[in-house]
Amino acid sequence: MTRSIVIMLAAAMAVACSPKSQATLDVTVTGVADGTTVRLLDYDRVAIDSTVVAEGKFHFDILDARPDVAIIAFDGVQATSRFVIEPGTIVGEMNTEARTGTFSGTPANDGWREFTDGINPFNERRNRLVPMLNALVNQGMNEGTPEFDGLYKDYEAIAGEQQAWIEQFVGARRGTVLTAYVVFSLANSLSTSAMIDSVLTYVDGAPDNAFSDRLVERRDLLAASAVGSVAPDFTQNRPDGTPFTLSSLRGKLVLIDFWASWCGPCRVENPNVVKVYEKFHDRGFEIVGVSLDDNREAWLQGIEEDGLPWVHVSDVAGWQNAVAKQYAVRSIPHTVLVGPDGVIIEKNLRGPALEAKIAEVLAR
């Protein structure tokens, strides 16, 4: 082998082995002091990289630019922004005081701005009606009164227009990373595997991306925890550190109650759940509270303050709680009623509806 060939091979290997970023991120930020640490986080808020703000700007080289959600967070600052990691040069502008952030320069980020610009007017029109509807409710005019029904008809009409606009937007962009991101971002409102299947048609053919994978994962989890399915078994620790397994309660009527001490609606509903527990516990009714707290002390304090006498479990991992992920929980309070045979009877029963269903099942 001649010296010139050796040199050429060495140069080729150096090029092949040198890491080259598939994406770059350049952000101008206001409201954050120079020297503040800024972190690039993945979808699960695990740190990918970090740097510091200098002259109101920061930069990241991103080696793995497979399309996915990424989050920008600053030490000591509450405001965060999210964007799409994808190959190319991404440019961002953030204002932490106004809690705004816009990103552009790549197809999905440019398209997301177009999507939000198009959908925001519908949200604004609907939001103007909400105080008016609440005012009618406070005056005793609920569903069934001409005033409430007329205004709510307008609200639903706007929602219908919005849905049609979304379908047109993603329909014109089938099989793109942008559409996968839009559908994924809206997927929290999809509560059944059939709903997920219906929107996956818009994603077919999209380049490899994390959004499509998560949609399929959510569909499968929803199917596994659907009404009529055997409740997925789980084991998680009680406050004293001892493990509890759901299937140990087979033979009882069980309510799995996903909640957290920081969740206002959960705390408001707790007195009703206590009442139901006290009324039916001696007849074979049990509750398992699965907490999405990420602070152990706050979790235990919430149990004590609200006087919740049933089984409690948590891995104190917040929204990453393993049981919540297993049951595809995206909002709380969230309840799952499981029959003595282990089959899921109903979901998200609250107030009088919860009490009525428990009484019906126990009377069989």
Residue with tokens 């989890």: 221
Residue 218 lies in a domain: yes
CATH number of the domain encompassing residue 65:
2.60.40.10
pLDDT (0 to 100) of residue 136 = 86
Picking from 345, 319, 320, the residue whose alpha carbon sits closest to that of residue 332 is 319
Cis amide leading into 333 (omega within 30): yes
Among 204, 224, 244, identify where a domain stops: 224
Please identify which residue in the block is written with the tokens 């177009």: 114
Give pLDDT < 50 ranges for the chain.
Answer: 1-20
Rounded Cα distance between 210 and 267, Å, is 35
3-state DSSP call for residue 26? strand
Bridge partners of 29, per DSSP, are: 94
Specify whether 98 is located in the same domain as 170: no
The last residue of a domain, from among 62, 88, 105: 105
Looking at residue 190, its pLDDT comes to 76
pLDDT of amino acid 20: 46
The reply to whether 99 and 51 lie within a common domain is: yes
Q: What CA–CA distance (Å, rounded) separates 302 from 239?
A: 12
- Pair 328, 250 in one domain: yes
Helix (H, G, I), strand (E, B) or coil at 12: helix
Is 347 within 8 Å of 337 (Cβ atoms)?
yes
Is 272 part of a structural domain of the chain?
yes
Task: Give the tokens for residue 210.
Answer: 């994390």
Helix 177-186 with 146-171: angle, nearest 10 deg: 160
Closest CA relative to residue 25, chosen from 57, 52, 61: 61
Q: Is residue 205 within 8 Å of residue 179, measured between CB atoms?
A: no
The token pair at 345 is 């009877």
Q: Cα–Cα distance between 243 and 1 in angstroms, integer?
A: 66
Residues 183 and 112 in one domain: yes
Q: Where among 88, 105, 122 does a domain terminate?
A: 105
- At 104 the pLDDT is 96
Task: State the Cα–Cα distance between residues 190 and 157, nearest whole angstrom.
Answer: 20
What residues make up the domain containing 212?
Answer: 108-224
H helix intervals, the chain: 3-17, 107-138, 146-171, 177-186, 193-200, 210-224, 264-280, 296-306, 322-326, 351-362
Distance from C-alpha of 42 to C-alpha of 39, rounded to nearest angstrom: 10
Looking at the structure of the chain, the number of domains it has is: 3
